[in-house]
A and B are shown apart, each in its own frame.
Chain A
Amino acid sequence: RKEVEQDPGPFNVPEGATVAFNCTYSNSASQSFFWYRQDCRKEPKLLMSVYSSGNEDGRFTAQLNRASQYISLLIRDSKLSDSATYLCVATGYGGATNKLIFGTGTLLAVQP
């Protein structure tokens, strides 16, 4: 089982739609969680951290469910510019457990 798993998509949604991605993680000891955005042929960029109480940044809302070991990202009022791959990240196993493990990403395509 992968340490961090995401639905690869693609999610094809019209402009203005609300879309949600889920991501599961296997390390129950994970403490830190993030969502990154990666545009085609570019580097990943931090979108937002994910806090236990949930957090919002404009049209983006992130939630953490420790009991079920998943995090989610909700995007409201989708824009064409939201089209990208969204990477879920959690701290993982290893000799030094505080390493970040990346999911393979979920592709979002927002259609006009």
Chain B
Amino acid sequence: NAGVTQTPKFQVLKTGQSMTLQCAQDMNHNSMYWYRQDPGMGLRLIYYSASEGTTDKGEVPNGYNVSRLNKREFSLRLESAAPSQTSVYFCASSPARGDSPLHFGNGTRLTVT
């Protein structure tokens, strides 16, 4: 019963490098989300996908791109990493759009030097 699986768990990048954070859910949920969590800022929505084939910007989308590959998978890409993107990233899913509780993955701790 995996739920939401994120990879990798930890990553260190140099400024300007790119990487993709992977997320997959096995709960047949329609909606998927990417959040970042920083001290004192709480969880902030980067991008979300209400359903397969759609993606929308959240509160802090700059510097990120996403792909909803299929119903199960939602990836987050950093094209040119910056130190300001050092954060903990959480993927989440929910059965329906917005109002339903979210199920979170374990998180990815990213450091950009």
Residues of A within 8 A of B (CB): 4, 8, 31-32, 34, 42-46, 49, 87, 91, 94-100, 102-105
Residues of B within 8 A of A (CB): 35, 40-45, 48, 50, 56, 58-59, 90, 97-107
A44, B104: Cβ atoms under 8 Å? yes
Instruction: Give chain A residues whose Cβ lies under 8 Å from the Cβ of B97.
Output: 96, 98
Instruction: Give chain B residues whose Cβ lies under 8 Å from the Cβ of A102.
Output: 35, 42-44
A-B contact count (CB 8 A): 55
With A99-B48, A102-B43, A104-B40 given, is the CB distance from A91 to B99 under 8 Å? yes
Instruction: Give chain B residues whose Cβ lies under 8 Å from the Cβ of A100.
Output: 45, 98-99, 102
- Contact sample, A vs B, 9 pairs, CB 8 Å cutoff: A31-B99, A32-B100, A42-B107, A43-B106, A43-B107, A44-B90, A99-B58, A102-B42, A102-B44
A87, B104: Cβ atoms under 8 Å? no
Closest Cβ of chain A to B18, distance in Å, is: 25
Residue ID in chain A nearest B100 by CB atoms: A32
A46, B102: Cβ atoms under 8 Å? yes
How far apart sit A31 and B100, CA to CA, in the bound complex (Å)? Answer: 11
Residue ID in chain B nearest A103 by CB atoms: B42
How far apart sit A97 and B48, CA to CA, in the bound complex (Å)? Answer: 13
How far apart sit A103 and B90, CA to CA, in the bound complex (Å)? Answer: 15
Set B41, B43, B44, B101: member contacting A46, Cβ < 8 A: B101
